Amino acid sequence: MFRSHQLKIKILFGLSDAVLTAAAFEIAYALRKSLPFQHNFFLPPDTKALLLGFSVLAWVTVGYWLNVNARIDSARIRTILRECLRQVAYSSIALVLFLVFGHALENQQLARGFLALFIVSSWFFLASFRIATRNLVPLLGSGTQRHVLIVGLGPRAERLARNLETYHEQGIRVTGFLAPPGDPSGPSIPDPSGQSYPVFPAGDLRALMSKHVIDEIHFAVDTEKLASLEEIFLWCDEEGVCSRIAVDFFPHVNSSVALERLGATPLLTFSAAPDDEALLLAKRAIDLALAVSLGIGLSPLILAAAVMIRLTSRGPVVFRQVRCGLNGRTFTLYKFRSMVIDAEERLSEVKHLSNREIVTKIPNDPRLTRVGKWLRRFSIDELPQLFNVLRGDMSIVGPRPAVPSEVAQYQRWQRRRLRMRPGLTSLWAVEGRDNVDFEKWMRLDMQYIDNWSLSLDARIILRTIPQVLSGRAS
């Protein structure tokens, strides 16, 4: 449906999430107070208000972040239950962290029963409400019918009409077709339901508007005919009629479409990579926070690795290499040196051992030092890349950075992986890494770019941790 309708659904379900979360909180609080436990449970009014406000904010924010209400009208019950569980799980983690680090409750032991009741009841309320109301979602847009006139004839216009008719329950009505100047207007065009759409000549538009209610005019014509429709565009602008242009004639199968403005110039924008500036800013903030936290927390390990490299082999502690970053920009990548000092010069001697054609990947590479084997096994050699993250060359999660010689061999569709900042870990890394061939590796990167979200980043990070600790990430 139109983005405005989707936004309305998100707002309404966001408000319902807030009300249901508050109700679950109050019910859990009342139940916990009435249960005959050894200790009485009571929260001061200011503490209770703080916890209630934070809980409502967390539950609604996480729900919006995970986009749990997307396509809720077509979702299966099992899917709704799973999405509600994800929302409550993430929100509960935020609440527990708030309790621990904010010291909102003086006695944590007394709060356990209340927290358990609150978490379970909130999941039950959210899931029950969404299951009960999912069939009512189409009715949210049907308060006022919206009559649409389609400018254009032919397969594209007919395809748009069929698409609009699928939202009949939400109030969309196709009034008919308007033949562009120079196209003959026929009596009618049949639709799949057995009815027919009338076809009007372009010159009858003003008379048509006086006889029929027209809320929107949609243009579905070839690009070369847009110039001949300038008068109709201007008329829509003067009359205040909402007009839309179907841009399915552009061969952009992966791109999202948006309208931008540069001063007074409107720009129709196609983007085949994430371009939501607010979410990308949040991703950058998370990168900085994690890079600083990991750098400080792992500083003893970083220092120990540097000392071991210095004591066991000749050469610098840190290895530097030029890699390709966002949109092909080159940068210097930093790693702990895990190979002998002349590894680059000896590449020709061992390249035939590589199990990949484009990317050089040699099992049990003889150039590895004794310490280097362990550094790679537990990905300790990649810790200096936290500095790359701080500099903005890399992200915590993203496609792995490639060397320029590899990028030069990419097919055209594979170069799209450069449209996102490279990362320390990736979807490819958690889906099998060395067991994944180059073709699937590239497609996993495309899958990550096409489906990117902050929640996807979080899932990849959580899946990376056990792989690193077990030594399976090398």
DSSP summary character for residue 158: H
Identify the residue whose tokens are 């909180």: 25
Rounded Cα distance, 355 and 359, in Å:
9
Of the CA atoms within 13 Å of residue 4, those in its CB half-sphere come to 2
Q: Helix 299-312 to helix 370-377 angle, to the nearest 10 degrees? A: 160
Return d(Cα 199, Cα 208) in angstroms, integer.
Answer: 11
Mean pLDDT, contiguous 10-residue spans, the chain (474 residues)? 63 88 92 72 82 92 82 73 91 86 54 84 92 68 71 85 79 85 66 72 81 84 83 80 78 68 73 82 93 94 93 90 90 92 73 63 77 88 94 94 89 87 90 74 90 90 88 64
CB hemisphere CA count around 426 (13 angstroms): 28
Number of Cβ atoms within 10 Å of the Cβ of 269: 12
Residue 265, φ and ψ in degrees, nearest 5: -95, 120
CA distances from 13 to 64, 66, 112, 130 (A): 10, 13, 29, 9
Q: By the 8 A CB rule, do 295 and 303 touch?
A: no
Query: Tokens 């986009």 appear where?
Result: 67
pLDDT at 142: 47
The predicted structure's pLDDT at residue 203? 80
Q: DSSP labels for 312-372?
A: HSSS-SEEEEEEE-GGG-EEEEEEE--B-TTTTTTHHHHGGG-S-SSS---TT-TTB-HHH
Q: How far apart are CA 462 and CA 79, in angstroms?
A: 22
Q: Length of the chain in residues, anyone?
A: 474
Q: What pLDDT is stored for residue 251 in this prediction?
A: 60
* CA dist., res. 39 & res. 106, Å (int): 14
Q: What structural domains and CATH numbers belong to the chain?
A: 3-138 (no CATH), 142-249 (3.40.50.720), 277-470 (no CATH)
CA distance 69 to 24: 19
Q: Are strands 242-245 and 216-219 parallel, antiparallel or unpaired?
A: parallel
CB-based contact 204:177 (threshold 8 Å): no
CA dihedral for 288, 335, 379, 294, sign (positive or negative): negative
- Residue 382 is given by DSSP the state G
Distant-in-sequence, close-in-space partners of 410: CB < 8 Å, separation ≥ 6? 358
Q: How many CB atoms lie within 10 A of CB 468?
A: 17
- Give the Cα separation of 180 and 220 in Å (integer): 10
Q: Report residue 331 as tokens.
A: 């940068």
Query: Per residue in 100-124, is it b (16+ CB within 10 Å) or e — as a string?
Result: eeeebbeeeebbebbbebbbebbbe
State the virtual CA torsion across 380, 381, 384, 390 in degrees, nearest 10. Answer: -70
pTM of the model: 0.65
What are the backbone angles phi and psi of residue 368, rounded to the nearest 5°? -70, 140
Give the pLDDT of residue 304: 94
DSSP track, 12-39: HHHHHHHHHHHHHHHHHHHHHHHS--SS
Residue 194, SS3?
Answer: coil
Strands, sheet with 196-201, edge to edge from the N-terminal-most edge strand: 188-190, 196-201, 172-179, 146-151, 216-219, 242-245
Structure tokens at 285: 């903030």
